[in-house]
Amino acid sequence: MSSTKVVVTGIGVVSPNGFGVREYWEATRASKSGIGRIERFDPEQYPSKLAGEIGGFVVKEHLPSRLVPQTDRMTQLALVGAEHALADAGVSVEEADEYGMGVMTASSSGGFEFGQEQLQNLWSKGSQYVSAYQSFAWFYAVNTGQISIRHGLRGPSGVVVSDQAGGLDALAHARRLIRRGSDLILSGGVDAAICPWGWVAQLATGRMSTQERPDRAYLPFDAAACGYVPGEGGALLILEDAEAARRRGVSEVYGEICGYGSTFDPAPDSSREPTLRKAIEIALADAGLEAGGIDVVFADASGVPELDRIEATALTEVFGPRGVAVTVPKTMTGRLGSGAAPLDVATALLAMRHGVIPPTANVTLSPDYDLDLVTAVRETPVSTALVLARGHGGFNSAVVLRSVDWN
């Protein structure tokens, strides 16, 4: 196994409760939610009416006008997040080796809104009114492609698709690429499918909350849990070979990605157990840590009682009853598809930097779960964190983060 240390040097956040790292972190510490009634379309005819939307985003204030007609909202948000991450890391793409830098993102929906608009044009007006950009604007790999083109990142690149677990899988593959010789990989995930077409696709899972009060709709590990609330956004991170980062003069890093594990659950009608626990154990072993070496877990937190029980059981089996702090900041954003887990990774890294575990908003822990759920800001040193994510269909992923003494 390669001994290359992979560190995070930059973060870009586009989130329903904060646009940019500073705004997001302040809102999260203050339990400020970005969940509300949908404004991007009229949700009245649908059973689920709430989402975590990014309000006030005017794309022409952030991107060149030539990019606007060829990109879905998902890609527009991703391009801004990538720009923020590169700036945060102090990366000068003009001075760096363009073939030593790549892009590895995740996607769970692709450009749904763009696709819907073009299909409506096809049905109502005819094929001559369908944009030529439809050929790629809907595609799962479009964020990787557009970021790579805009910033001249010509190194190894790609996309992974494993629903909400994909954000962690992308970061893990980015680490793999760096261990194979790349200096820098921009990685993470951003999704945005708050449109009628995307909404119906998510409703088909049967797991969305139909509660209409924003503070009661997404309550993982609560006796009143009734499903999840979708959202849009995510995070993009700059991952670098630690030695390459030192060579370019990086003065501070957020932390190290030191462990990763992934599994796939057996078929629902089989007699075999879910495999989230195994993913956690693989990630801990990869990081060279025992369970007692983890300071906080950022849970996947489905909000579906059956899935919450599976996760709570796995955590209790690995760490013991109330054996580790568990938090769910995504209760303030909703579940952001492939963007959720990278945002949790960013939040965990900020928790390390500031010595604060952010809270789980609105939740009262069910007596059915023996978890140390953090429901108010907890000021405590954080040097290690475990981030969990599960994707629809059986994907499980886990990433271990560790603080770095950079001096």
Reply yes or no on whether the pLDDT at 95 is more than 80.
no
Counting residues of the chain whose pLDDT is more than 90, the rounded percentage is: 94
Residue 1 confidence (pLDDT) = 46
Average pLDDT over residues 220-235: 98
In the predicted model, what is the mean pLDDT of the chain? Answer: 95
Question: Residues 182-206: pLDDT tens digits?
Answer: 999 999 999 999 999 999 999 999 9
In three-state form (DSSP H/G/I as H, E/B as E, the rest C), the secondary structure along the chain is CCCCCEEEEEEEEEECCEECHHHHHHHHHCCCCCEEECCCCCCCCCCCCEEECCCCCCHHHCCCHHHHHHCCHHHHHHHHHHHHHHHHHCCCCCCCCHHHEEEEEECCCCCHHHHHHHHHHHHHCCHHHCCCCHHHHCCCCHHHHHHHHHHCCCCCCEEECECECHHHHHHHHHHHHHHCCCCEEEEEEEECCCCHHHHHHHHCCCCECCCCCCCCCCCCCECCCCCECEECEEEEEEEEEHHHHHHCCCCCCCEEEEEEEEEECCCCCCCCCCCHHHHHHHHHHHHCCCHHHCCEEECCCCCCHHHHHHHHHHHHHHHCCCCCEEECHHHHCCECHHHHHHHHHHHHHHHHHHCEECCCCCCCECCCCCCEECCCCEECCCCEEEEEEEECCCEEEEEEEECCCCC
What digits encode the pLDDT tens for the residues 19-62?
999 999 999 999 999 999 999 999 999 999 999 999 999 999 99
CA 77 – CA 71 distance, rounded (Å):
10
Q: Which two tokens stand for residue 112?
A: 């749904």
d(CA 241, CA 180): 10
Task: Name the CA dihedral angle for 358, 176, 167, 81, rounded to a multiple of 10 degrees.
Answer: 80
Name the pTM for this structure. Answer: 0.97
Distance from CA of residue 389 to its chain's centroid? 9
Res. 267 pLDDT band, cuts 50 70 90: confident
pLDDT at 2: 60
Residues 6+ apart with CB under 8 A from 195: 40, 41, 112, 113, 116
pLDDT tens string 303-314 = 999 999 999 999
The answer, yes or no, to whether residue 327 has pLDDT greater than 50, is: yes
Q: Does residue 195 or residue 2 have the better pLDDT?
A: 195
Nearest to 298 by CA among 382, 228, 229: 382
d(CA 283, CA 385): 11
